Amino acid sequence: MKTSPHSKAQSAAPENPLDRLVALLKPDLLAVNALILQRMQSEIPLIPELAGHLIAAGGKRIRPLLTLASAALFGYQGTRQHKLSACVEFIHTATLLHDDVVDASDQRRGRSSANALFGNEAAVLVGDFLFSRSFQLMVEDGSLDVLRILSNASAVIAEGEVLQLSTANNLETTEAQYLQVIRSKTAELFAAACEVGAIIAGRPAAECQAMRDYGMNLGIAFQISDDVLDYAASEKRLGKSVGDDFKEGKMTLPVIRAIAKANAAERNFWNRCMTGSGQKDTDFSEALALLRKYNTLEASLTEARRYAELGIKALTGLPNHPLRQHLQDLIIFAVERDY
């Protein structure tokens, strides 16, 4: 039987390729972390205190790692990738601060969220500060191409936030709308992070586009898998409890597909649970049973794997560097992880 590139890579993939990338890029990542700490400082004490609360909580740093890996893949020897990686992380952190306010979240990365500790007003304003810092870093780089890519990503992310707000609790949300949300909110920054690494390395347009395509497909695969894990993870996940999306009425792919197949009684159940009409303690178990009844969790993972294959294909033809294999392993891990 012929084995797909995905299957081959999956069998060879290390347990956690993200840890491998961190080890390989450690000197660069240390420089980025130092820059992040430096640039989040302010004469207003609340700003570094609140920003530091979230940044110190850790996180995967996957987006800045993608910029570092992209630049290294193409043999870039300078230091521009450090400021741009910090810029990407500031954009991401700002969106997290704003997300937690919109979602009224009280937990982030296993700790109390910034808005829970400091208040919604402070969280929003410090998020704005970090967005501003990111634009300062873009301008300091001096490349109009870099400024175009990252500023466009910031605008698209904001559009995705608004679209998600309009689809929340809405049983008429389509798969196309869901994909537009995750492309905008998650995948766009992954794509930009990858693309700018190739840009500063001076690579031709086709290779820059290939890195953007890889990042876009990684982001989509990552988010679909994350949405499946909200129902399917066997234990409490790092920084996020199983069932959070259900409690917030978020219309994710497994739910959208289950609703499309639901009978009248099941649709009434989804309508009560997802539109804010009141959830019961037993509702999550019933929702999980319906997702399993219609096999929408596994079907959604199959969709995530399809995007992973597209991401692997995008890497074909790029320099034969060890990082290329690590990036391929990463996109598989993004789908197959269990936390």
Count up the domains in the chain and report the number.
1
Average pLDDT over residues 172-198: 97
Please indicate, yes or no, if residue 206 is contained in any of the structural domains.
Answer: yes
Q: What pLDDT score does 330 carry?
A: 97
CA distances from 240 to 23, 108, 231, 243 (A): 25, 7, 12, 9
Please indicate, yes or no, if residue 10 is contained in any of the structural domains.
Answer: yes
Place of tokens 């766009």: 188
* Interval 239-284: pLDDT, tens: 556 888 898 899 999 999 999 999 999 999 999 999 877 889 899 9
Please indicate, yes or no, if residue 144 is contained in any of the structural domains.
Answer: yes
Task: Kindly report the average pLDDT of the chain as a whole number.
Answer: 90
Query: Cα(first)–Cα(last) distance of the chain, in Å?
Result: 31
Q: Among 277, 249, 153, 238, which residue's Cα sits nearest to residue 259?
A: 249
Please indicate, yes or no, if residue 299 is contained in any of the structural domains.
Answer: yes
Distance, CA of 86 to CA of 178 (rounded, Å): 29
* Domain membership of residue 133 as a residue range: 5-333
* Interval 34-85: pLDDT, tens: 999 999 999 999 999 998 888 776 667 999 999 999 999 999 999 999 999 9
Please indicate, yes or no, if residue 339 is contained in any of the structural domains.
Answer: no
Which residues are CB-contacts of 110 (< 8 A; sequence separation ≥ 6)?
Answer: 57, 238, 239
Kindly report the CATH number assigned to the domain that includes residue 306: 1.10.600.10
Distance, CA of 136 to CA of 133 (rounded, Å): 5
Which pTM was predicted? 0.91
Q: What pLDDT score does 3 carry?
A: 39
Tell whether the model's pLDDT for residue 339 goes beyond 70: no
Q: Among 313, 80, 314, which residue's Cα sits nearest to residue 211?
A: 314
Q: Among 24, 25, 41, 157, which residue's Cα sits nearest to residue 88?
A: 157
**Tokens matching residue 26:** 């450690």
Average pLDDT over residues 166-173: 92
Please indicate, yes or no, if residue 40 is contained in any of the structural domains.
Answer: yes
> 13-17, 62-66, 181-185: which range is least confident on average?
13-17
Q: What pLDDT score does 1 carry?
A: 33
Tell whether the model's pLDDT for residue 27 goes beyond 50: yes
**Tally of CB atoms within 10 A around 317:** 11
Give the bridge partners for 240, in sequence order: 237
Tell whether the model's pLDDT for residue 182 goes beyond 50: yes
Are 233 and 242 within 8 A, CB to CB? Answer: yes
Residue 107 CB burial class (10 angstroms; 0-12, 13-18, ≥19): middle
Q: What pLDDT score does 55 carry?
A: 76
Distance, CA of 293 to CA of 265 (rounded, Å): 14
Interaxial angle between packed helices 80-103 and 188-200, expressed in degrees from 0 to 180 and rounded to the nearest 10: 170
Please indicate, yes or no, if residue 338 is contained in any of the structural domains.
Answer: no
Are 147 and 137 within 8 A, CB to CB? Answer: no
**Tally of CB atoms within 10 A around 120:** 16
Tell whether the model's pLDDT for residue 13 goes beyond 70: no
Distance, CA of 219 to CA of 307 (rounded, Å): 9
Are 215 and 190 within 8 A, CB to CB? Answer: yes
Q: Among 83, 40, 41, 86, which residue's Cα sits nearest to residue 63?
A: 86
* Interval 112-160: pLDDT, tens: 888 989 999 999 999 999 999 999 999 999 999 999 999 999 999 999 9
Average pLDDT over residues 325-331: 97
Q: What pLDDT score does 232 carry?
A: 85
